[in-house]
Amino acid sequence: MRFFLIVILLVLAAVFGIVFTVFNADKVPVNLYFFNFDLPLATVVFLAVLFGALLGFIMALGVLIKKQAEMVKLKRRFISLEQEVDNLRKIPIKDTH
C-alpha cells in the first residue's frame, strides 16, 4: 500500500512538472552580473528551487553535525556514569554496629 502511494505521488509530481514546463516555456532574461543569457521560465524556477534546497541542506548540515557530536559526547558520559554506578553497587556495605 505504501509503495502504491509513493508511486502515485511520483506520477502526480511528474505530471505537475510537465504541465508547469509546458505552460512556462517562455524565455526570460537572466542577469548574473557578468553573465547574461535567456532561459525558459520553468528552468529558472527549477534552478532557483534547487539552489534554495541545496542551501537549506548545507545550513541544516551544520546543525546536524553539532547535534551528532553532542550525542556522542552524551553517550560517552552515560557509559561512564553507568560504570560508576556498577562499581558503587559492587562495594560491600560495611555495618559499623
pLDDT, one tens digit per residue, over 19-52 is: 888 888 889 998 888 889 899 998 898 899 999 9
Domain residues for the domain of 22 are: 2-89
Give domain status of residue 56, yes or no. Answer: yes
Q: How many H-runs (helices) and E-runs (strands) does the chain carry?
A: 2, 2
pTM of this prediction exceeds 0.75: no
Q: How many domains is the chain built from?
A: 1
Q: Answer yes or no: is 97 within a domain.
A: no
Q: Return the exposure string of 73-97: e unless at least 16 CB atoms fall within 10 Å of the residue's CB, then b.
A: eeeeeeeeeeeeeeeeeeeeeeeee
The number of beta carbons lying within 10 Å of the beta carbon of residue 36 is: 9
Summarised one tens digit per residue, pLDDT across range 46-80 is 899 999 999 999 999 989 999 999 999 999 999 99
Residue 96 in domain: no
> Residue 79 falls within a domain, yes or no?
yes
HSE of 19, CA atoms in CB hemisphere, 13 A = 6
